[in-house]
Each structure stands twice: as C-alpha cells, then as structure tokens.
C-alpha cells in the first residue's frame, strides 16, 4: 500500500524531493493566502473559486500551523486569522504592527463609509483631499499645523495602501476602499465604532489599534510587513 502511495506522489511531484499531496492550484492558493493580507475574489475570480472549492483541504493544512481560513462570501474576501490557543510557539511568524492613531481614525471612518454604501453595489472611493478632511475633523483642539496634517494624511494613506485596505485606482490621488476593511477591524458591529472614535478624540496620546487579521503569517518583503 505504501508503495502505491509513493508512486502516486512521485507521479504528481512538482519538483525534486516533493512529498506534498496537493495539486498545483491548491498549493498556489495556500501561498497567496499566506502572503496575505487577504484575497479579493472580485479581483481574482479563478483563485476565489479554488479557495471556495477546496476550502476543507486548505483549512486542514492551515490548522497544522494554528491558522483559520475566514471567508466572507458576500464581500468575496478570504483571509487568515490566528487560532486562539494558550500554548507557546503557536503564534504566526511575524507580528503585524498595530495601526497608529491617525491610521486608526482614517480606517474607522472609511469602515463607516463602506457600511453606508453597502447596498448601492458601487465601489467606495476616497481622495487624498477627502482623507485629509476626515482627519482634520479629529484634530486636537488648538492644533493648527497644516504641514503636520498633510504628513499624517499621506502616511496614513500609505499604511492602508500597504495593507491593501485601500487600493489604487486609475485616477491619481483617488483610492478604492477594500471590502476587506470590514473584516480587518476588530469590531463585532458597526455600532461600536462611534464610541471608539469618541475615545480617540478625547485622548491626545498616540493610541493604536490591533487589526482583526492579527498578524502577518509569512516572512514577506519588508515593505509588506507594515
């Protein structure tokens, strides 16, 4: 029996020394999931179909490394989340840095905007000037440093773009809000966000927010580990 299994694996081997059992498309899906931060099914329909079709096999593999495959069928978003387990050496490889205060504020405001447009079927977009206006609404009393606001706007946009929670469009200075933002923020309900925004407004400290996706799960290029 073992001889037959070995012959079967040798026949399906993709490279010298390959002992894996998955076909190429499932392995490719795993690599894409592990690279993260998420899969957008509206962008890659073939990959989305592969994930949907082989969800059980993918989860079986991911469970071996303490990860859960989270799928939002309505938004066509798939991402990995760490399993909650009290044991050493069970956390994903690279911890993701939390969002800083202005990044958090912008992400939360865009999440609310995403919810307001959920029933329209249209993409939600934000311009650089629109993002600046949102952050300006949360400036501390007496803050008048416009240069600092510009810097915070640009750095916040850059961070959300790096996380692919914002996506570039064909228009310069305009970005599409990804549906993944609804899964990335650690809130069970959109109604929880106003109170969190109010708490940030009342605190001058550089508060941070842990993303719901929790961690990067692979050692990727430095610019992706943001």
Q: Which fold has domain 97-210?
A: Arc Repressor Mutant, subunit A (1.10.10)
Over residues 49-64, the pLDDT tens digits come to: 999 999 999 999 999 9
- Sign of the torsion formed by the C-alpha atoms of 90, 96, 97 and 98: negative
7 neighbors 1 (Cβ within 8 angstroms): no
Cα distances (angstroms) measured from residue 217 to each of 3, 7, 147, 171, 211? 35, 33, 36, 32, 13
pLDDT, tens only, 129-153: 999 999 999 887 666 778 999 999 9
Q: Find out whether 13 and 41 touch, Cβ atoms under 8 Å.
A: no
Q: What is the 3-state secondary structure (H, E, C) of 41-58?
A: CCCCHHHHHHHHHCHHHH
Residue 2 predicted with pLDDT over 80? no
Delimit the domains of the chain by residue range: 2-94, 97-210
Taking only the tens place, the pLDDT of each residue in 176-207 is: 999 998 888 767 677 878 887 888 777 655 55
Position 191 scores a pLDDT of 81
Residue-wise pLDDT tens digits, 77-133: 999 888 888 888 777 655 556 788 899 889 999 999 988 887 777 889 999 999 999
Q: Which one, of 100, 155, 113, 165, lies nearest residue 132 by Cα? A: 155
Q: Could you say which architecture CATH assigns to the domain 2-94?
A: Alpha-Beta Complex (3.90)
Alpha-carbon distance of 26 to 32, in angstroms, equals 10
């Amino acid at each position: 029996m073992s001889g037959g299994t070995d012959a079967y694996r040798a026949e399906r081997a993709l490279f010298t020394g390959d002992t894996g059992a998955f076909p190429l498309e499932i392995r490719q899906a795993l690599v894409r999931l592990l690279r993260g931060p998420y899969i957008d099914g509206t962008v890659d329909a073939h990959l989305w179909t592969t994930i949907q079709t082989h969800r059980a096999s993918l989860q079986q593999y991911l469970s071996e490394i303490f990860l859960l495959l989270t799928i939002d069928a309505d938004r066509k978003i798939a991402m990995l989340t760490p399993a909650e387990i009290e044991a050493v050496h069970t956390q994903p490889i690279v911890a993701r840095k939390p969002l800083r205060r202005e990044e958090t504020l912008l992400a939360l405001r865009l999440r609310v905007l995403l919810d307001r447009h959920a029933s329209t079927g249209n993409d939600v977009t934000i311009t650089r000037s629109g993002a600046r206006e949102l952050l300006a609404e949360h400036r501390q009393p007496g803050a008048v440093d416009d240069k600092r606001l510009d810097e915070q706007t640009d750095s916040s946009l850059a961070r959300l773009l790096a996380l692919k929670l914002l996506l570039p469009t064909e228009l310069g200075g305009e970005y599409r809000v990804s549906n993944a933002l609804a899964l990335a923020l650690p809130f069970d309900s959109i109604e929880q966000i106003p109170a969190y925004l109010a708490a940030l407004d009342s605190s001058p400290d550089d508060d941070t927010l842990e993303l719901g996706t929790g961690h990067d799960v692979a050692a990727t290029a430095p610019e992706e580990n943001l």
